[in-house]
Amino acid sequence: LVGLQRIPTEGRSIATGMTMPDGSVANGTFGAAFLALGRHRFDFFIPNLIPVSVVVLLVLAVMIWFFLEYTRFGRMMYAVGSNQRAAELAGAPVKAYKIWAYVISGVFASIGGILLAARLGRGDIASGNNLLLDAVAAALIGYAVLGAAKPNAFGTAVGAVFVGVLLQGLTMMNAPYYTQDFIKGLVLVVALVFTFALSDRGKR
């Protein structure tokens, strides 16, 4: 799929000044409203404190939390994810729920891609590659938040904020890039330890 996505642009980013397949140069510009999605900040006691992306994160986290915790569809997705075989024996359409899980995941990934493209001012399918480890760490940290012992939207949002603040702090301290990777790996290992510890406690 990644290869197919690279064909129209011949592997290049979609940006102002990019070379088109016919050799011409793209002279268009991104709209100010689109760029504001990734760059605008709201005032909250301190000027320019809260980015639009954080507001979107909070809104989506609340929506997902309500969907998973208080709807039949969401609870069934939890059931399929925790024990697929048991869900099948209970008569749940497991394949349908798995397909919907991928669809919903794709929708939210596209929202993240739009915000990232607005922040960078260009479209590139490889722009988010360095965020994969951050996303995994946030999800695993969320597993342990409030002792939920299961993946949950609120915990993942807390984990994402924690990882973001941690990396921003390292950047402000002028820490080398390889130090940031080491810290992210350490956070991931600690999150894994908490995850397995909570899983073992739940089994007992």
Rounded-to-integer distance, Cα 140 and Cα 152, Å: 10
Question: 34 falls in which pLDDT band (50, 70, 90)?
Answer: confident
- Whether residue 146 has pLDDT greater than 70: no
Across 22-44, average pLDDT = 81
Average pLDDT, rounded, for the chain:
81
Q: How many domains does the chain have?
A: 2
- Whether residue 61 has pLDDT greater than 80: yes
Q: Name the one residue in this structure whose structure tokens are 């997902």.
A: 64
Residue 133: which domain range?
128-204
Give yes or no: residues 67 and 43 share one domain: yes
Question: 175 falls in which pLDDT band (50, 70, 90)?
Answer: confident
Give yes or no: residues 108 and 163 share one domain: no
pTM value is 0.76
CA distances 191 to 105, 142, 160, 204, Å, are 22, 9, 13, 20
Give yes or no: residues 110 and 184 share one domain: no
What is the structure's pLDDT at 140? 81
Across 53-74, average pLDDT = 90
Give yes or no: residues 45 and 137 share one domain: no
Residues 64-114: pLDDT tens digits? 989 988 999 988 998 898 888 898 888 889 999 999 999 999 999 899 989
Give yes or no: residues 58 and 135 share one domain: no
Give yes or no: residues 132 and 86 share one domain: no
Q: How many CB atoms lie within 10 A of CB 87?
A: 19
What is the structure's pLDDT at 106? 92
Give yes or no: residues 176 and 112 share one domain: no
What is the structure's pLDDT at 202? 54
Angle at 153 between CA 197 and CA 112, to 5 degrees: 120
Give yes or no: residues 195 and 108 share one domain: no
Across 150-166, average pLDDT = 83
Structure tokens, 69 = 């915790």
Whether 77 is in a domain gets the answer yes
* DSSP-derived 3-state class of residue 19: strand
What is the structure's pLDDT at 171? 85
Give yes or no: residues 84 and 150 share one domain: no
- Whether residue 204 has pLDDT greater than 60: no
93: left (phi over 0), alpha (psi -120 to 50) or beta: beta
Of 63, 96, 127, the last residue of a domain is 127
